[in-house]
């Protein structure tokens, strides 16, 4: 250790340059990570952040940064929006199954030379005691469930529920954040609107009371919804689990703190501080 370090030399923090406007940042959101991320970024005076949501949630909670809602109109629309709003860095903090917007972000940022980082939570890994049947996509869940009638706990979100209408022999318990509406026209359907996080005890009790025989889920990763996987393990239930789609090969971090560190490096690299 150097003498200066021994004496506790002060750490150098780059000072914001008063002549520069803040760096314009777009966060593509719709996940727990994106909410945590914008809360972190909102405190940074050298960043001006806009959060973009697809508009799947009817009344998104107002957050600490300006929000825009709705699609951009494909790669070209996004590229135009980035240029028109002077965006200087993009953070893709969308859900790991939101493959189209991630691909669009990679293409639009690549074309416009806008630095991009993805926040990608690690996938869940099979543990001892897990009875997983891994499938490639949501329609493939039907074969995994088989022809016999079973009580199925469906936790794959709302958008692809209609695939299960082809297997009306099962009894479905569907849990989503937004109400399901007419998305799954089957004779035996129970719907629950709820937003995680859920505890292991609650999940075990819920699955027992609903007499669940098999859980169907996406391999979303993250802590907020992992207890359903643990509950299935504890109850000895099989889990039909949808593997992640292919995502573009872009630089990635695993959490909000990692994205902030990347932005700080970008600020210095591009002379904002």
Among 23, 98, 108, 242, binds ligand NAP (CB under 6 A): 98
Q: What's the CA gap between 245 and 10, in Å, rounded?
A: 46
Of 175, 176, 228, 197, the closest CA to residue 32 belongs to 197
Cβ distance to ligand NAP smaller for residue 55 or 86: 55
User: What is the per-residue binding string for ligand NAP in 206-225, x denoting contact by CB under 6 A?
Assistant: ------------x-------
Contact status: 56 vs ligand NAP (CB under 6 A):
yes
Contact status: 52 vs ligand NAP (CB under 6 A):
yes
Contact status: 256 vs ligand NAP (CB under 6 A):
no
Cβ distance to ligand NAP smaller for residue 56 or 264: 56
Contact status: 73 vs ligand NAP (CB under 6 A):
yes
Among 23, 26, 30, 32, binds ligand NAP (CB under 6 A): 30
SS3 content of the chain, % helix, strand, coil (to 5): 30, 20, 50
Piece of the chain touching ligand NAP by CB under 6 A; list 53-61, 178-186, 208-216, 255-263: 53-61
Among 25, 31, 115, 215, binds ligand NAP (CB under 6 A): 31
CB of 253 to ligand NAP, least distance (A): 16
Cβ distance to ligand NAP smaller for residue 168 or 196: 196
CB of 51 to ligand NAP, least distance (A): 8
Q: What's the CA gap between 93 and 224, in Å, rounded?
A: 16
CB of 209 to ligand NAP, least distance (A): 26
Q: Report yes or no: 25 and 90 within 8 Å, Cβ to Cβ.
A: yes
Which tokens belong to 174? 């569907």
Cβ distance to ligand NAP smaller for residue 168 or 245: 245
DSSP reduced 3-state for 33:
helix
Q: Report yes or no: 97 and 218 within 8 Å, Cβ to Cβ.
A: yes
Crossing angle for the helix pair 32-41 and 256-269, to the nearest 10 degrees: 40
Among 26, 33, 90, 95, binds ligand NAP (CB under 6 A): 95
Residues near 153 by beta carbon (within 8 Å), at least 6 away in sequence: 173, 175, 207, 210, 212, 214, 215, 216, 228
Which tokens belong to 252? 């990635």
Contact status: 29 vs ligand NAP (CB under 6 A):
yes
User: What is the per-residue binding string for ligand NAP in 119-158, x denoting contact by CB under 6 A?
Assistant: --------------------------------------x-
Sign of CA dihedral 181, 148, 145, 126: positive
CB of 202 to ligand NAP, least distance (A): 20
How many Cα atoms sit within 13 Å of 150 on the Cβ side?
20
Contact status: 181 vs ligand NAP (CB under 6 A):
no
Of 161, 180, 179, the closest CA to residue 170 belongs to 161
Sites of contact with ligand NAP (CB under 6 A): 28-31, 52-54, 56, 71-74, 77-78, 94-95, 97-101, 104, 157, 218
């Amino acid at each position: 250790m150097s003498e200066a370090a021994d004496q506790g030399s002060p750490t150098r923090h780059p000072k914001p340059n008063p002549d520069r406007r803040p760096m314009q940042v777009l966060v593509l959101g719709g996940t727990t990570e994106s909410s945590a991320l914008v809360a972190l970024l909102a405190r940074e005076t050298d960043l001006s952040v806009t959060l973009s949501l697809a508009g799947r949630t009817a009344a998104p909670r107002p957050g600490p940064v300006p929000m825009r809602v709705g699609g951009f109109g494909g790669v070209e629309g996004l590229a135009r929006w980035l240029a028109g709003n002077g965006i200087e860095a993009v953070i893709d903090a969308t859900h790991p199954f939101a493959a189209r917007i991630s691909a669009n972000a990679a293409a639009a940022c690549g074309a416009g030379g806008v630095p991009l980082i993805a926040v990608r939570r690690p996938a869940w890994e099979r543990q001892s005691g897990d009875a997983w049947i891994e499938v490639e996509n949501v329609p493939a869940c039907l074969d995994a469930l088989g022809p016999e009638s079973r009580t199925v706990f469906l936790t794959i979100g709302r958008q692809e529920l209609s695939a299960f209408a082809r297997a009306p022999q099962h009894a479905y318990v569907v849990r989503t954040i937004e109400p399901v509406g007419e998305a799954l026209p089957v004779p035996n359907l129970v719907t629950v609107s709820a937003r995680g996080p859920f505890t292991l005890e609650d999940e075990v009790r819920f699955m027992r009371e609903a007499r669940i025989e098999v859980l169907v889920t996406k391999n979303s990763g993250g802590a907020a919804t992992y207890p359903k996987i643990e509950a299935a393990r504890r109850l000895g239930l099989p889990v039909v689990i949808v593997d992640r789609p292919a995502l573009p090969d872009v630089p990635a971090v695993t959490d909000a703190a990692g994205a902030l560190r990347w932005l700080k490096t970008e600020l210095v690299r591009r002379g904002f501080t």
